[in-house]
Amino acid sequence: MPDFKDEISPAMVAAVATELHRAWEGFPVQAFTADATDGLAPLALLARVHHVAAALRRAMPANFATAADVLHRALESATFNGWMTLPCGYYVADHGVDHPDVALPTLAALSPRFSSEGPIRVFIERHPETTFEHLRRWIDHPDEHVRRLVSEGTRPRLPWAPQLRGLIADPSQAVALLDRLHDDESEYVRRSVANHLNDISKDNPTLALGIAHRWATAGSDRTAWVIRYGLRSLVKQGDPEALRLLGYDHGAAVTITGLTVTPDGVPIGGHVTIAFTLTADAAVRAVVDDAVHHVGARGQRAPKVFKLTTVTLHPGTPKPVTRRHRFREVSVRRLYPGPHRIDIQVNGQILASTAVTVTSTKLG
């Protein structure tokens, strides 16, 4: 797969220079290009973004309002788009942090080209009152990207961005925004709201459940999906109230038989097939997950829960379930050899467990 860091490349730097020179004849194309590409190659993605943003600060007008005007003129070009605008957003966060009333509208203008969810976070922390005033206005913005920025930019645990510890401790200001976005006409916005609710559930589960109950009274199919997706972490944890809210009975009597994992040993990068059968004496809606206790450097880690399926069980009708599970390493999880326990969880209850031995041999 391509590495995203390669999007921030010398070719992209040259494209940014062309666009900004088109918007401002005084833009120092050659000096900026040399500055932004010097030392770029060994850097990771976000380091590259900040490296180019720093070069922009040295190239753009010293007066931030003047520089913001350059960016707005550049946005008149349809080709000033995509990855090349990401460093521009971080430039705004860096150079415009003391000018929120100029910087925030600039971030909103950039967001349809590449989301400003990362750059806006410095303003939430440094100028919360002013920033939330702008966020409240953007709720009714005609562009879905700007409306999504309201939710995504205030996510307390946005991946690959600094946590917003103030909103982790007290999410109330963000919740007031989400209350007006959970039934947004745009799926793009609603998905962000659901991810935001999931973030809240990790630190404030009782609050998240209260929000979900309140939104559920609206009776909207669009909001029902937001609630279901937004409570996914609590469902994986087997939270009884989250399950009940979504129509699952945590205490339902379900029986599991015939649990097998084949093969019983697998190299890193290989896969196993998990199979079992579920039965119930009464009709039961069941959310079925498998929880894998990966071996870490110092023993087993907390389980990683993977969604298997959602089924309705009928009396006298066994339901076979199979899943192919690959033991692969990802950027946030390294695998170690040893026995990895697998739990089968139905409506939050662990019904059976088994194990597979992972070897140090890697496929591929």
* Buried-state track 80-99, b at ≥16 Cβ within 10 A, e below 16: beebbbbbbbbbbbbbbbeb
Segment 224-265, tens digit of pLDDT: 999 999 999 999 999 999 999 999 999 999 999 999 999 999
pLDDT at 362: 66
Closest residue by Cα to residue 181 from 226, 219, 216: 226
The CA distance from 145 to 149, in Å, is 6
pLDDT at 135: 98
268 and 211 fall within a common domain: no
232 and 258 fall within a common domain: no
For 123, residues 6+ apart whose C-beta sits below 8 A from its C-beta are 93, 97, 100, 103, 104, 107, 130, 131
Segment 122-156, tens digit of pLDDT: 999 999 999 999 999 999 999 999 999 999 999 99
Segment 73-116, tens digit of pLDDT: 999 999 999 999 999 999 999 999 999 999 999 999 999 999 99
The pLDDT-based confidence of 301 (bands split at 50, 70, 90) is confident
The CA distance from 212 to 245, in Å, is 8
149 and 262 fall within a common domain: no
Alpha-carbon Rg for the chain in angstroms: 25
Closest residue by Cα to residue 83 from 189, 191, 6: 6
pLDDT at 1: 42
Answer yes or no: is pLDDT of 22 > 50: yes
- What are the backbone angles phi and psi of residue 250, rounded to the nearest 5°? -60, -30
More confident residue, 328 or 165: 165
Domain limits for position 267: 254-362
293 and 342 fall within a common domain: yes
DSSP string for 282-310? S-EEEEEEEEEE-EETTEEPSPEEEEEEE
Answer yes or no: is pLDDT of 2 > 70: no
Mean pLDDT for all residues in the chain: 95
Looking up residue 188, the CATH number of its domain turns out to be 1.25.40.290
The pLDDT-based confidence of 363 (bands split at 50, 70, 90) is low
131 and 31 fall within a common domain: yes
272 and 196 fall within a common domain: no
260 and 231 fall within a common domain: no
pLDDT at 330: 77
241 and 336 fall within a common domain: no
Q: Tokens representing 313? A: 């069980």
Closest residue by Cα to residue 200 from 173, 175, 235: 175
Share of the chain above pLDDT 90, in %: 90
What is the number of structural domains in the chain? 2
Closest residue by Cα to residue 68 from 26, 112, 29, 99: 99
Looking up residue 333, the CATH number of its domain turns out to be 2.60.40.10
126 and 36 fall within a common domain: yes
146 and 73 fall within a common domain: yes
By DSSP bridging, strand 265-268 and strand 349-362 are parallel
168 and 198 fall within a common domain: yes
The CA distance from 109 to 320, in Å, is 52
The pLDDT-based confidence of 335 (bands split at 50, 70, 90) is confident
Q: Report the amino acid identity of residue 173.
A: Q
Length of the chain: 364
Q: Tokens representing 139? A: 């709720």
216 and 356 fall within a common domain: no
Strand-pair partners of 322: 275
Among the candidates 182, 211, 245, a domain finishes at 245
DSSP string for 184-242? -S-HHHHHHHHHHHHHHHHH-HHHHHHHHHHHHTT--HHHHHHHHHHTHHHHHTT-HHH
**Residue 303 preceded by cis peptide, ω within 30:** no
Among the candidates 245, 266, 293, a domain finishes at 245
Among the candidates 194, 223, 245, a domain finishes at 245
For 180, residues 6+ apart whose C-beta sits below 8 A from its C-beta are 139
